[in-house]
Chains A and B, each alone.
Chain A
Amino acid sequence: MFEVISNDILAPNLHRMVIRAPRIAPVRRPGQFVIVRVGRGDERIPLTIGDADPAVGTITLFIQAIGASTRKIVAIPAGGSILDVAGPLGKPTHLANWKRVACIGGGVGTAVLFPLVKALAATESQITTIIGGRSSQYVILADELAALSETLLITTEDGSLGRKGFVTAELSELIADPLRTPDAVFAIGPVPMMRAIAELTRPHGIETIVSLNPIMIDGTGMCGGCRVVVDGESKFACVDGPEFDGHLVDFAGLSDRLTTYRDQEAALCHAANECKLTTGVAHV
């Protein structure tokens, strides 16, 4: 059993949970994830490890409650426990000493971006972080990211915080300014956002790394369910990823596979009458 140390609400349906996982905390690296299962008979849910404290043996998870299983996870209060937490899984982020790097997080993807920015902050890179959300209440971790970044830019679709519009607008401006053009871009968020960013950087040949969130079962390569076509080859996001070269990812194929269980999950949520959202997966 894995004890829940704290459970805070960061944004609507988005929780930050600190969990005691003494084997995982000291060995996890940025970019890696865990598989979580609340209790017997529940689903296995992949969740990126947002942070860790090796000294006390805890990991931090950011969880967007969008389906029956993720709602069950975030409903566990501090002092409660989770039956299964397995990891760390996936390849750690490849970190280089880029001169200038842009880190872009969309919505809950910002939480996945956080450990990456934290790791980059320990390198020589100058970090520009761009985070976006539907409105101000969906913009998360702004203070934490500002403290780690050279510059923090915020966009919201309704203009309630930062610049009105999408993260891509800020990135376009960065690229257009020769003094600020990044050598590398990390983009983590909804598939359409990552796809748009990859298309934006492609003509400039800027290295672009995305973190993918396909449907996943075991997380160890056993089932092959998380396969994604990268550079014309099937890759397993759990063992070969979850980070890939955004210029080589077949985003259309990824989007399509993500809809596999949409109808079944919508029916499940509908039956339970508890879901506002019926698309997307839980991987944050």
Chain B
Amino acid sequence: MCNNLTAKERLAIDRVHMPELDAELRSRNFEEVNQGLAREEAVREAQRCIQCKTRPCVEGCPVGVSIPEFIDALAAEKLPKAARILQGDNALPAVCGRVCPQESQCEARCVRGVKGEAVAIGYLERFVADWAMTNADKLRSEPLPTGTGKKVAVVGCGPAGLTAAGELARKGHTVTIFEALHDTGGVLRYGIPEFRLPKEIIDVEVDRLLALGVEIECNVIIGKTMTLDQLREQFDAVFIANGAGLPVMLNMPGENLKGVYSANEFLTRVNLMEAGCNPNSPTPIIKGNSVAVIGGGNTAMDCVRTARRLGAERAMIIYRRSEAEMPARIEEIRHAKEEGVEFVMLTAPLEIIGDDKGWTAALSCEKMELGQSDESGRRKPVPVANSRYEVPVDVVVNAIGTRSNPLLTATAPDLALNKWGNIVSDEQGATSIPGVFAGGDIVRGGATVILAMGDGKQAAAAIHGFLSGAA
């Protein structure tokens, strides 16, 4: 195929559709829903890119991937080149190609989206990253940089930590990641279900870091096993990316009944410890026949779709605003609906009602309507009088958010925090302690994978500057 198309020819190509597993079948298994593009489809989609000079898509990408360049190489079927460009800019392209909210980032800025449909940048990213995984032999292995002799500790093996580690290792620094859990990936592994991000993708991306010489030590809890001060003594710089690790509770009656989960516990049991999805897993879970998930973000979608796969006949999203305000990705909402999830909008939970044995039996809710806009610019939900009603449920999952985990910060009194307990850092990730940088959810509160990665990339650049004496 040739890439010397005229603008008219490019504009004549329709946006590709991602092949997906049948909704009825997939709602009962954990196989990946999006099946990926065939090579011909990917190349043709790449040819839709008009290679505009302004490159607005790159500005929409928190890690600044050279999007037109990798798409151009793909359109010309120069796959090794496309892979090199992509991997050079993004430590976790196969992850981003699957979980990024492209519709509100790169694709939202695409010039082709002005009068039609944006180029499917996310699908193309995934295609190139997946190609690179299965064709590693066709890619020259990355030359290892000359060592600088500087040591950097990274706290947390999630998207921000992995990204920073990759960037720093490529600059020749010796990087050690400390992870509190027993496995790598952080929220990518415990938070995102297999049907959206297969575990082997994380494994391959982590292996690429190991090949760069990054060391990963699991089961080390900074703040408990070692303190920040100890890290500062043993390393030349520290990057803290330990995530937002405490669930926000509902604070309503019945919250401690059996069958009530935080999203973190529900997803961790299934994703990290394989409860319910691997018949040999010893980890138990209450599966539920009628499940209510409270919240409207991506985590809520992950929980409710997981509940369906664990066998729930009725799986509901309970959200107090309307669908238009839901923060979840449009694709996740669509997938959930196709899989039979009920969307109970403009509804606020009031109380979880138990049976006489302490098990969850019902969720008491009230209807809401949208009133005036609040400080977030969204219309504030207000209760409708006398609209209280009960839904019978046996499992309730609370997916309303997380807050900062205090284990590290409680043992680092010099580290400046904001009123929510998040670490205060500047745009480069520098904290109140010289040589200590931070990024991801511990700085932002619960956000997205790609924003955390953007923080990791920026902090890595700042750390490199600091270590080189330029900061």
Contacts and interface: CB of A to CB of B under 8 A. Distances in A.
Contact of A221 (B245, B280, B282, B358): B245
Given A221-B406, A239-B406, A256-B358, A23 B256 contact: no
A261 B225 contact: no
Interface in B258-280: 258-259, 261-262, 264-265, 268-269, 273-274, 278, 280
A224 B262 contact: yes
A261 B278 CA distance: 17
A42 B283 CA distance: 8
A221 B181 contact: no
A11 interface: no
Nearest to A253: B256
B256 A224 contact: no
A265 interface: yes
Given A23-B226, A41-B280, A223 B221 contact: no
Contacts of B268: 217-218, 222-223
A24 interface: yes
B225 A221 contact: no
B180 interface: yes
A256 B356 CA distance: 11
Contact of A42 (B261, B262, B282, B358): B282
Interface string A17-52: 000000110010000000001000111100000000
A16 to B, nearest CB: 22
Nearest to A67: B282
Contact of A89 (B221, B269, B284): B221
Contacts of A23: 220, 225-226
B246 A221 contact: yes
B278 A223 contact: no
B262 A221 contact: no
A84 B225 CA distance: 13
Contacts of B366: none
Chain A interface bracket (under 10, 10 to 19, 20 to 34, 35 or more): 35 or more
Contacts of B283: 43
B334 interface: no
B273 A220 contact: no
A247 interface: no
B281 interface: yes
Nearest to B244: A222
A225 B224 contact: no
A259 to B, nearest CB: 7
A224 B224 contact: no
B61 to A, nearest CB: 29
Given A27-B224, A27-B226, 18 more contacts: A23-B225, A41-B280, A84-B218, A85-B219, A87-B225, A218-B268, A220-B407, A221-B246, A221-B405, A221-B406, A221-B407, A222-B245, A222-B246, A234-B255, A256-B358, A259-B358, A264-B284, A268-B284
22 contacts: A24-B225, A27-B224, A27-B226, A41-B274, A42-B282, A44-B273, A84-B182, A87-B221, A87-B225, A88-B224, A218-B180, A218-B268, A220-B180, A220-B245, A222-B264, A224-B246, A224-B264, A225-B261, A225-B262, A227-B256, A256-B358, A260-B259
Q: Which 7 residue pairs are nearest across A and B when measured between Cβ atoms?
A: A223-B265, A86-B219, A261-B284, A264-B284, A256-B358, A224-B262, A222-B245
Interface of A: 23-24, 27, 37, 41-44, 68-69, 83-89, 217-218, 220-225, 227, 229, 234, 236, 239, 253, 256-257, 259-261, 264-265, 268
